[in-house]
Amino acid sequence: MVPVRDVIITDESTQHPLILSPWNDLAENDCELFNNWSAAFQVVAVPAMRIGTYKEAGNYTNDRQDMINLARDSAQSRTITTKEKVNAKKAANTWQEQKYWIKVTLPEADIQDLYLYIGCNKCGRKSQSNKEVTYTCTHCNHTTAVSVPRVSFTFKAADHTGTKKNTIFTQDVETLIGIPSDQLHNQINSVS
């Protein structure tokens, strides 16, 4: 059996991770150097690479590949799990694109926990610019960023296994509350 290892590289600039699949000696020896990558910034050169998919690589399947395929399958059922099971997940047994459905209550949800701000329409980070101004974002370096109403919401979610503090941002807040962020800004600013 040929040894193969998946090295999954993620960052905020892409929607999908880059997966390097070293084979043979590279998988057994050289991949050990990757173990401490998260400790410090690393620059890595890959001098010889063949771009391909797992289908081109032959019959390479295992539990991890099955898990990856399941995570990528957008038609997967929405099986409800617990907060405890999600917290037990580690980088070695989960996938960035996996989605978990947890039935929770928000025991202390309060409108006061909404944080309204003006932020970059590209990266979402807070901006010192006025609303609807085009500027160069100092966080993501986009030269055509527009300052738009943004919102975050910090809350505790509870299920029968415990409570966890969460923070969600504009798109998820709009889905949860059912009000666009610009309307939230207008409503809350008109009250204060």
H runs (alpha helix) in 19-167 = 24-28, 63-72, 83-87
In the structure, what pLDDT confidence band is assigned to residue 127 with cuts at 50, 70 and 90?
A: very high
pLDDT beyond 60 at 3 = yes
Which whole number is the average pLDDT over 68-81?
61
Examine the fold and report which residue of 36, 60, 84 is the final residue of a domain before the chain moves on: 60
Residue 8: inside a domain, yes or no?
Answer: yes
pLDDT of 141-191, one tens digit each? 889 999 999 999 999 989 888 888 889 999 999 998 899 998 988 887 776
Number of domains comprising the chain: 2
CB 147 within 8 A of CB 169: no
What pLDDT score does 87 carry? 79
Identify the domain containing residue 15 by its residue range: 1-60
- Which residues make Cβ contacts (< 8 Å) with residue 96, sequence separation at least 6? 8, 10, 17
What pLDDT score does 58 carry? 39
- Is the full-model pTM beyond 0.85? no
Examine the fold and report which residue of 21, 37, 60 is the final residue of a domain before the chain moves on: 60
Give the domain CATH number at 140: 2.40.50.140
Could you tell me how far CA 35 lies from the centroid of its own chain? 21
pLDDT beyond 80 at 77 = no
Residue 79: inside a domain, yes or no?
Answer: no
